[in-house]
Amino acid sequence: MEAMTRTIPVFVNSVKVELATGSTAIDAVRLWSETAAAEVTGGGKIITDDRGLPILPDTTIHGGSIFRLIPARGAGEPAEEMEE
């Protein structure tokens, strides 16, 4: 008899994906988009939580997790100037 794996719904950039218990944020991103996951692992993007705070890619998911991807900026790099 096979054990049933519980799936957990999470959201990546507003898209619902379902993963197995014990999965990580980068697993969720990878399921949503292989390209986006490569950008995260390559340092071009970072994953943020529902509060907009950066999280580590190996953060364990929980039901209802919300992740967003944003461009990574180097330390001390100025934000883009707003045009008036």
Residues 42, 6: Cα–Cα separation, whole Å: 30
| pLDDT value at 4 more than 70 | no
Q: What does the pLDDT read at residue 73?
A: 83
Structure tokens at 17: 């994906």
Q: 7-71 belongs to which CATH class?
A: alpha beta
| pLDDT value at 69 more than 80 | yes
Q: What does the pLDDT read at residue 14?
A: 95
Residues 76, 63: Cα–Cα separation, whole Å: 35
Q: What's the whole-model pTM score?
A: 0.81
Q: What does the pLDDT read at residue 15?
A: 97
Could you say which DSSP state residue 40 is in?
H
Which pLDDT tens digit goes with each residue over 5-49? Answer: 789 999 999 999 999 999 999 999 999 999 999 999 999 999 999
